[in-house]
Amino acid sequence: MPLDSRLIALLDQGMVLDITLETLPFRVYVAQRNADVQQVAELVPAEQFEGPGEVHVAAIDAGDDAEEQVQDVLFNLNPGDSLVFLCTSPQAYTDTLAAFGQQPQPEAHS
């Protein structure tokens, strides 16, 4: 499925992307973090949870097929949904970003 992604913001060990999938826009958060639901609340602004769409969360480990997991989640999206990928290792983070046509960037500094 055709996918276009654009970097919106750098996070501490993460990136925020806007993607377009078959003409529909979605917000994606990819971060190197522990697979802990508390991490989602730290990454995603509250207004994202209050919007009309759902927030889908997936954990990706180093041994996982990141491309396959990303495609599985993308297949189940509805307009207005957003995605959070918690990558538990540097390799999982790199592989997940690659699935969106991105590569790791220098960390954001406050």
Task: List pLDDT tens digits, range 6-16.
Answer: 999 998 889 99
Largest CA distance in the chain: 36
- Please write the tens of the pLDDT for every residue from 48-62: 788 788 999 999 998
**Cα-Cα-Cα-Cα dihedral of 9, 71, 63, 10, to 10°?**
0
Q: For residue 95, what are the contacts with CB-CB under 8 A and spacing of at least 6?
A: 60, 66, 67, 87
pTM assigned to the model? 0.90
Give the span between the Cα atoms of 54 and 82, in whole angstroms: 6
